[in-house]
Amino acid sequence: MEQNNDAIKEKQSMGKRGRKPKAEQTQVDKVADVGVLERRLAELEAENRRLRGLVPVETETRKLSVTLPVTVWNSVDSYLVKNNVKQASFFAELAKSYFEKEQSER
């Protein structure tokens, strides 16, 4: 009977998810929790970059000013909103695909 009471008390001392309260966690438990959180953070950051349409940053960048007719800008803006893409990413990918196409035609 005493063993049952001890088991019940231990179960009651556990958190809602069957884990020890933070104060009772061992160092190993804490390190494991940090590892899980670090992996999840990396996953979320990658997903955020994917959703925002960011391209990897090159080591050196230069700024560009473009003058286009309003109708072309309207088409670009519509595409950006529809596809949730940043303007800089759009033009970077446009230039890359142009040069890749040109290379393949040679």
Structure confidence by residue, pLDDT tens digits, 57-71: 566 778 888 899 999
pLDDT of residue 28: 62
Task: Answer yes or no: is pLDDT of 20 > 80.
Answer: no
Structure confidence by residue, pLDDT tens digits, 74-106: 999 999 999 988 898 899 889 989 998 888 887
Structure confidence by residue, pLDDT tens digits, 69-80: 999 999 999 999
Residue with tokens 């809602």: 16
In 3D, which of 10, 86, 88, 22 has the Cα closest to residue 51? Answer: 86
Residue with tokens 């890359």: 96
CB 52 within 8 A of CB 86: yes
